[in-house]
Amino acid sequence: MARASCVGRRARSAAERGPLDLLAYLEALDAPGRPGVTAGSARALRSLTARAHAHVDLLVVLPLAGTIGVSVPDEEDAALREAADTALLDLLDDDELLPASTTVLEVGGDRSRRVGTVLDVLARRVSR
């Protein structure tokens, strides 16, 4: 996971992964036969995630369904990846984690379509 430093409120930045992704993977681990996190750790992580996402204007999500051209190594745990995808999509509806001011954009299709969709949305936001 990339680490970003704190910058001014008006600064513009982008990150490939964020706290919501980590929380989704940890929730996906909380399944029978997998080591999960303690309840206290889960509460702390949710709190940190909410604080971090309080400053996110646009959250771009790439769900597994409808995605074309994303390669996954054979050694990756496909069941965990699918469970994390489901957990992430569920977390997007959690008002305690994402403020109403955050725009959530789910993109799909091939790479060209995904990039075009994101660039279109960013162009409209910048021109405001």
Encode burial over 75-102: b for 16+ CB neighbours within 10 A, e otherwise. eeeeeeeebbbebbeebbeeeebbeeee
Mean pLDDT of 34-40: 80
pLDDT tops 90 at residue 16: no
Q: What is the DSSP letter of 37?
A: -
> Cα 113 to the chain's mean position, in Å?
19
Quick one: pLDDT at residue 73? 84
User: How many residues would you count in the chain?
Assistant: 128
Q: How many CB atoms lie within 10 A of CB 19?
A: 19
Q: What is the mean pLDDT of the chain?
A: 84
Tell me the C-alpha to C-alpha distance, in Å, between residue 21 and each of 59, 63, 93, 113, 116: 11, 12, 14, 22, 23
Mean pLDDT of 10-28: 82
Chain segment 53-64, per-residue pLDDT in tens: 998 889 999 998
Mean pLDDT of 32-52: 85
Chain segment 67-124, per-residue pLDDT in tens: 777 777 888 888 888 899 999 999 999 999 999 989 999 999 899 999 999 999 999 9
Please tell me the number of Cα atoms within 13 Å of 85 on its side-chain side: 13
pLDDT tops 50 at residue 126: yes
CA–CA separation, 111 vs 113, rounded Å?
5
Bridge partners, residue 106, by sequence:
61
Quick one: pLDDT at residue 60? 93
Quick one: pLDDT at residue 113? 93
**Confidence at 10, pLDDT banded by 50, 70, 90:** low
